[in-house]
Structure 1
Amino acid sequence: VTAVMFTVITLYHTFSIPKPADDKTVAASGGETLGGEFVHAFVTFFKKPGALIAIVFMLLYRLPEAFLLKMVNPFLLSSAANGGLALSTSTVGIVYGTIGVLALTIGGIIGGMAASKWGLKKSLWPMAACMTLPCLTFVYLSMAMPHNLVIISTCVAIEQFGYGFGFTAYMLFMMYFSEGEFKTSHYAICTAFMALSMMIPGAFAGYLQEMMGYEGFFWMVIVCCLGTVAVTKLIKVDPEYGKN
């Protein structure tokens, strides 16, 4: 039933969503071959002004969150003897899977509204701050080891709200950097770097936590926030971009 429902929704949107005038096939845009267009789009991405800084931004802006996200569930589930909060699986589902997701969604919505009003450039630093500072909530949780679900849920909600709000800047920057002749292809390349920015830190998160313990690991996450600050300072953005 669900599959049929989503198939119907997909077909509806396929025909109902308006298409921009520059949304053309390779043949319509004068491309020689699909392979040639792919290579050309790939090469032009790396030739764009500020490409290196943009790639560094895409890889490091979410560095604290990339480490943190991998260890949130293990931390909430681990026993107190191992430095965790010893929550049950069902409780974690409520705290992180429900309250956390709601906070993340609200943060993203408010982030979009803020960017629409002030533009990406003015929103960038507040969003970077919201991406990093709420990570302190997990430092607190690892040190205080509270049993009160209200406190735990509040900390998770604050962190997820901050991530949702801060991630808006990341998405807008990818759209901004992708502007140009091959914006669809360039945006796809940006999403590849977005995935890579989570995969690489995530691959080492477990090893680092085993070496440092949860408290030490979360302090390391705070240190990684310096990477977010550094790359935010490096990028240049059109002051009018993102405003409605």
Structure 2
Amino acid sequence: MSDETEKTTENVNETTAPVDRVKGKAKPNVWCFTTYFTEGFPFAIVRMMSSVFFTDIGMKERYLGYLNFLGIPWNLKFLWAPLVDIFGSKRTWMIAIQSIITLLTAAVAVICFSSSNNSDPVLSTSILVVLFVAFAFVAATNDIVIDGYYIEGIPNQKEQAAYTGYRVFAYRIALIVAKFGIIYAVGMYSKSAAIKTLPDGIVDISTAAGMKVMYVAWAYGFGAAALIMGLFTLFHVVALPDFETRTKSVSSAKKVYQDFLHSFSSYLEISVERTKIALLSGIGAFVVLSIILVACKLSYVQALAYGLLAMLTFLIAQSRPLVALSLVFIIFYKIGDEIIFSMGTPFLKRYLMVSNDQLAWMTGLIGLVGSIAGTTIGGLWIKKVGLKKAIWPLTLIMNVNIAAYIWLAWAHPLATVMVDGKAVPHLSGLITISAVYCYEQIAAGLGNAVLIVYILKTCKKEFKAGHYAIGSAFMSVFSSIFGGFGGIIVEKMGYMNLFVIGLFATIPAMALMFFVRIPEEQTSEKSAANNK
């Protein structure tokens, strides 16, 4: 799954000198790095570290699957993004939001410490889940604020392009610090503590002593994350420029609401009045169905998920037929891949016995490089031959990786084996698992390139930023919902059958590829021929 989205644009009025001449404050190359590090880091804590943590403390697969719902605030953040424009400055928002993120991360660390001596782990886990739900909404809002601050601070689009490298690099560094640095440190600490304090030197969470070691290890991990986030927030308090004196973006609530409606109606290709009906009926369907399902004794999580599906279905049904077809394609294109992602961490750790330090290397370095390589290769491929010619081979390569995971579940190689009562790395198994994982990340990157380019082609020029936000929301929210039920499938049918379902889930999108409209474009070869 891609961790970054197209950065939005908005209208601001330029007034005085270039942005890098704000005296006594950080220059653009510095604050671009620090702000986008603090965009990627909270995302990694919520979407990546939380999954490894809850797997380590023994959460059941059903509830590990539900953790995918933590991605929904990022999917739907465009709905409350206008509030950031209406109330206060971006700098004020950023410092306040990042202070809250620091406190939430520190609170998780404190609860982990207290849980190491707590006889009621269910209560501690429930509190932690609530904290992460709140964390997800705050972190998604942090993304909105940072993107808005960037656009206000560097209003010239050519200058924005020049600083894109800083943003992407900072975001990737944040992911590496969380996925590799902190998770690796947690793994090494738990191993060291187990050798010193546990009789057999193995962390067994079925025992009180083993669970204590794991909670303490993660307390230090989240404590380190809070410290890192706190230091960056403090830097922003001291050195972050305030552009309000040099740029103004006057947005009334009415204007923001009207712009939102026009953008949405333009994307669905229906009238503004029909858009209002679609939104109201969708929200109504969400509320009514959720209440009915809860009354029928369905869990709150499942009821809200089904309600959200009903709301989005109402929106699709109100759009023009060709737009509806395009949205269904966007929804289903990466469903198979997302099913793998939904239970990837427990599959690696519990089924294939990948330890935290091995997982850190695999996901934090090998996987990240593979993802970047896949997205880059996919983008260059599409640029060379065009999306129409590239879409089939790139899609097939992406979907074959699901078959590789089916084989991995069948072959069941182990990254760690027990020898004389001690956990020992199994080199051949680790290499096999790493190779499949790396291929999966490359394939996912190829698919991301296809979907991003396709969504961009569905955007109308005058609403490009808003349309991309809507398209990417449809792309990812269904994946988050379907992925959320992955744990239930694993409990009932096992990992292999989950991946088989994922493979069959690729069929609708491939069938739709014969019918969806893909705008014509000039490839590099055609352009060169025309220039002659």
Q: Normalising by structure 1, what TM-score?
A: 0.84
AA aligned opposite 2:344: V
Deviation at 1:120?
0.9
1:132 aligned residue = 399
Max Rg structure: 2
Question: Shift of residue 179 of structure 1?
Answer: 2.6
**Paired letter, 1:45:** Y
Contact 1:121 1:241 in 2 (8 A): no
Pairwise CA distance, 1:123 = 0.8
Q: Unpaired runs of 5+ in structure 2?
A: 1-27, 36-149, 161-247, 271-319, 415-428, 528-532
How far does residue 180 in structure 1 lie from its aligned partner after superposition?
3.3
Q: Does residue 113 of structure 1 match 2:380?
A: yes
SS at match of 1:234: coil
- The reply to whether residue 184 of structure 1 matches residue 451 of structure 2 is no
How far apart are residue 15 of structure 1 and its match?
Answer: 5.3
What does the per-residue CA deviation read over 1:8-35, in whole Å, with 9 as the maximum and x for residues that have no partner?
5466972564279xxxx999xxxx9332
Cα 1:185/1:16, change in 2 over 3 Å: closer
Give me the whole-angstrom Cα distance separating, in 1, the residues matched to 2:407 and 2:480: 26
Greater mean deviation of Cα atoms: 134-143 or 227-236? 227-236
Alpha carbons 1:104, 1:164 under 8 Å: kept: yes
CA distance in 2, matches of 1:17, 1:26: 16
Shift of 1:129: 0.8
Q: Does 1:54 align with 2:194?
A: no
Give me the identity figure in percent. 26
Runs of 4+ in 1 over 3 A off after TM superposition: 8-13, 241-244
**Inter-partner Cα distance in structure 1 for 2:32 and 2:398:** 37
Does the aligned pair in 2 maintain the 1:172–1:242 contact within 8 Å?
Answer: no
The letter of the residue matching 2:264 is: F
Report if the CA contact (8 A) 2:326-2:517 is conserved: no
3-state SS of the aligned residue for 1:18? helix
CA offset digits 1:38-72 (Å, max 9, x no partner): 21221121117621011101111011011110111
For the 8 Å contact 2:267–2:460, the answer to whether it is kept is no
**Aligned-residue RMSD, C-alpha:** 2.7
The answer for unaligned runs of 5 or more in structure 1 is 79-83
Partner of 2:486: 205
CA shift, 1:118, in A, is: 0.6
Aligned partner of residue 86 in structure 1, secondary structure: coil
The residue type equivalent to 2:267 in the other structure is: F
Distance 1:227 1:6, change over 3 A: farther
| 1:42 maps to which of 238, 251, 264 | 264
Where do residues 1-80 of structure 1 align in structure 2 (5 Å cutoff)?
7-9=31-33, 14=154, 17-18=157-158, 33-47=255-269, 50-78=322-350
Decide whether aligned partners of structure 1 residues 85 and 108 sit closer, same or farther in structure 2, where only a CA change above 3 A counts. Answer: same
Alpha-carbon separation, structure 2, partners of 1:187 and 1:166:
17
Residue 409 of structure 2 is matched in structure 1 by 142
Q: Residues of 2 paired with 1:234 and 1:167: CA distance?
A: 20
Q: Tell me which amino acid in the other structure corresponds to 1:7.
A: W
Is the aligned partner of 1:92 residue 2:373?
no
Q: Which residue of 2 aligns with 1:81?
A: none
Deviation per residue, 1:77-106 (Å, 9 max, x gap): 01xxxxx11111111121233211211110
